[in-house]
Amino acid sequence: MLFALLLDISYAVMGAGIGAGLAAIGAGIGIGRIGGSAMEGMARQPEASGKIQGAMLIIAALIEVAALFALVICLLISFRQA
Amino acid sequence: MTAFSNSFSRFFVVLLLVSGMAFSASGQGQHEQESGEKLNVSELIIHHVLDDHSWHFADGFVLPLPIIVYSAEKGLDVFSSANFYDENHEVVPYKGYKLDHNHIFLADSDKPVLDLSITKNVMMLFINATLLLIVFVSVAKSYRRNKGKAPSGLQSFFEPVIIFVRDEIAKPNIGHGYEKFFPYLLTLFFFILFGNLLGLLPGAGNLTGNIAVTMVLAIFTFIITNVSGNKNYWAHIFWTPGLPLVLRPIIFLVEVIGVFTKPISLMVRLFVAITAGHIVLLSLIALIFVFQRYWVGLGSTLIVLFISLIEILVAAIQAYVFTLFSALYIGMATAKHEHH
């Protein structure tokens, strides 16, 4: 009976929803840490704030793309309604 | 209230109000038409993100694009994609071909045909290439004309960006001999930047969010990296120096996989960043059609405006990141004198 339950597509879609949420948490933590370190660096040395800001934006984009990988897979699962 | 006194703030506020009204009104109008039919949001979003055989600018304003197919049975066939639709916008088979989810098959045997049509993304590619040619031929002419003098016109707009690509991307990563690869890096950067920005315009096609386009760009980087790889580069892959001999076959496999995962990561990164951005924007706009209320229209417009600004930033950052990593890989391939 458990096997029959697991074959139900709606559980896959629920998994996709949970996965998308977890991906967002991951991106949030990563970008939050980058932002925190950037703030700290800018507070210690205001002259370097231009460079720090530039580096922060670029790294934030890379982390965001990693979260979007997971998001795309979750979308593919949820759009797989037959 | 000095904040609202300058013309930029006033323009911004007016734009906000007008777009809020336009979006919310569109939601209200839809309510009259579709009271019987349920809106399939995911199909709407996927349809807008994927490629299409006809260019759908707005409701009723459709540009049918030419279809060019080749098959062993019927040879080369060229016709307008409007032939696939009848008066009720239903898909009908035409001349032995049928359209199924935007793929063309032979009507009787259901076999796929070689589809070389001018689709929406191909049109966007042509527009992007034309724009690049117009802009940069004019900039090159200005450089020839203003030899030794200060830049003028369009040249003065692009010169800081070109110098940025040279001093922040090409020179630090490739070092000596960067001039050989600098034209490729510039082309890559501006192609991706223009492609990303053009995709954000209303009614435009999703050029750099097409995985085939990003795959070709990654293949270019892959070819250029490996063709210009010097002896150090190949020695590092096949027979990594400084390792105990037992580990070298394992590291050889890891390095070979690494040669292929680098362009694959380039391809997927650009595709995912742009496509996911478009999906987020389309989902927020589709909220208006789901709720069909004025206040949802206004709220959605504000959020979409804010996220569109982020998308412009993402467009520039993704162009920079793709070019930076390409320069990095080329630099690693052409690096000289490794001390071990």
- B159 shares its domain with B300: yes
Residue B328 lies in a domain: yes
Could you list the residue range(s) of the whole structural domain that residue B72 is in?
65-115
Residue B38 lies in a domain: no
- B256 shares its domain with B144: yes
What is the per-residue pLDDT for B58? 73
With a cut of 0.95, is the ipTM above it?
Answer: no
Residue B22 lies in a domain: no
What is the per-residue pLDDT for B33? 44
Cα B307 from chain centroid (whole Å)? 17
Q: Compute the nearest-CA separation of B49 from chain A (Å).
A: 13
- B243 shares its domain with B285: yes
Distance (Å, whole) CA B217 – CA B208 = 10
Distance (Å, whole) CA B320 – CA B191 = 11
Distance (Å, whole) CA B55 – CA B122 = 11
**How many domains does the structure of chain B reveal?**
2
Q: Who contacts A27 (Cβ-Cβ below 8 Å, separation ≥6)?
A: A63, A64, A66, A67
Mean pLDDT of B237-249: 80
- B127 shares its domain with B166: yes
- For residue B5, pLDDT over 80 is answered with no
Last residue within a domain, chosen from B52, B81, B115: B115
| B41 at interface of A, judged by CB pairs closer than 8 A | no
Mind listing the pLDDT tens digit for each residue in B58-87? 777 888 888 888 887 777 888 887 777 777
- For residue B316, pLDDT over 70 is answered with yes
- For residue B278, pLDDT over 80 is answered with yes
Q: Which amino acid is at B54?
A: S
- For residue B174, pLDDT over 70 is answered with yes
Residue B170 lies in a domain: yes
**What string of DSSP letters covers B239-306?**
S-TTS-TTTHHHHHHHHHHHHHHHHHHHHHHHHHHHHHHHHHHHHHHHHHHHH--HHHHHHHHHHHHH
Mean pLDDT, chain A, whole residue set: 86
- B110 shares its domain with B124: no
Residue B253 lies in a domain: yes
Mean pLDDT of B261-280: 91
Cα B213 from chain centroid (whole Å)? 7
Q: Compute the nearest-CA separation of B320 from chain A (Å).
A: 8
- For residue B26, pLDDT over 60 is answered with no
Q: Compute the nearest-CA separation of A17 from chain B (Å).
A: 14
Most confident of B44-58, B70-84, B316-330: B316-330
Range scoring the smallest mean pLDDT among A36-50, B73-87, B157-171, B184-198: B73-87
CATH 1.20.20.10 fits A23-73, yes or no: yes
Range scoring the smallest mean pLDDT among A14-18, B53-57, B128-132, B312-316: B53-57
pTM: predicted TM-score of the whole model, two decimal places? 0.83
CB contact under 8 A, A68 and B272: yes
- B83 shares its domain with B109: yes
- B238 shares its domain with B91: no
Distance (Å, whole) CA B338 – CA B232 = 7
Q: Give me the residues of A, 14-73, that contact B with CB < 8 A.
A: 57-58, 61-62, 64-65, 68-69, 71-72
Domain ranges across chain A: 23-73
What is the per-residue pLDDT for B311? 93
Distance (Å, whole) CA A44 – CA A52 = 11
What is the per-residue pLDDT for A82? 44
Phi and psi at residue B82, to the nearest 5°:
-65, -20
What is the per-residue pLDDT for B29? 43
The alpha-helical segments, DSSP class H, found in chain B are 7-33, 41-49, 120-145, 154-164, 171-174, 182-199, 211-227, 231-238, 248-291, 294-333
Distance (Å, whole) CA B290 – CA B293 = 9
Interhelix angle B120-145/B154-164, nearest 10 degrees? 100
Residue B45 lies in a domain: no
What is the per-residue pLDDT for A42? 94
- B107 shares its domain with B140: no
Residue B97 contacts residue B105 (beta carbons within 8 Å): yes
- B98 shares its domain with B243: no
Nearest CB partner across the interface for B46, out of A62, A69, A79: A79
Residue B2 lies in a domain: no
- The pLDDT confidence band at residue B24, using thresholds 50, 70 and 90, is low
Helix (H) / strand (E) element for B78: namely: strand B75-80
Residue B282 lies in a domain: yes
